[in-house]
Amino acid sequence: MNQKQLNIILMTFTILIVVMGCSSTENSSHKGHNTQSSEADVNQPEQNKDQDEIYQSEEKDIQDKMKVDGFTSEMPNVYEITATAELREEEDADRIVYEVFINKPKIEMKHITLSFSLHPKMFDKLNTSNVFMSTAMFDQSTSLQPGEEPYGTSLARGFVMNKNLIEQDMKNIYDQIFVKISYVTKEEQVEEYFQLQAKISSQLEKYVNDQLGSVNNFV
């Protein structure tokens, strides 16, 4: 990932926090740390070299695991993990916002790093420099304890949609999210990889179907 791509991601953090932060953290079932980003134009400080290297390492690890089918759809039994995809229609652009949640930990989870990628083919369906996101780009990590605040953590990123790029095959892949979770428990480093099916909001589903309908009618 080059500096230009980093700047695109880093410049997005503040605006989506303002737009989305309250609605996400007010939900008691997802109460806890909430980290979000979106493709927008807001100035942010440059991340340091260590963060850059970790971020790139996380991205490469997920890409490598995809090549060898290294993700499982079997959910963990020591915490809950879910994902959503919602539509955000804003003045500057329409966005699809993906968010991954970790909730109800049954064990201590220290120094959590949460990373995710969309299906690789989604790169051709969105106006974006990449389809990856990770908490590795932020200064502080999150830790969770059973029955203690914060009760969960999440990571989100918004991607600018292009109606001209919405095609029928997108419906087969736009709900797929590939997630890597790293944490320390009992002094043991744990890395886990999950393929999730995001819960698509009714507004997003209608948006995609309406666009597909208009394309079919035009043809």
| Fold classified for 3-218 | Immunoglobulin-like (2.60.40)
Scanning the structure block, which residue is given the tokens 């009992």?
186
pLDDT, residue 95, reads 97
Structure tokens at 110: 């220290």
Reported as half-sphere exposure (CB side, CA atoms, 13 A), residue 66 has a value of 18
C-alpha span between 195 and 76 (Å, rounded): 12
The answer to whether 83 and 98 are in contact (CB under 8 A) is yes
What pLDDT is stored for residue 153 in this prediction? 97
* Residue at token pair 């440059």: 46
Quote the pLDDT of residue 155.
97
- Are the beta carbons of 141 and 183 closer than 8 angstroms? no
* Tokens describing residue 120: 């690789």
Q: Which residues of the chain have pLDDT under 50?
A: 2-34, 38-47, 217-219
**pLDDT value of residue 1:** 52
Total residue length of the chain: 219
Bridge partners of 41, per DSSP, are none
Residue type for 61, please?
D
Predicted local confidence at residue 93, as pLDDT: 95
Instruction: Return the pLDDT at 215.
Output: 55
pTM for the model stands at: 0.78
What pLDDT does residue 32 have?
A: 43
Question: What is the pLDDT at residue 36?
Answer: 53
Which residues, 6 or more positions from 93, have their beta carbon under 8 angstroms from its beta carbon?
Answer: 39, 127, 160, 161
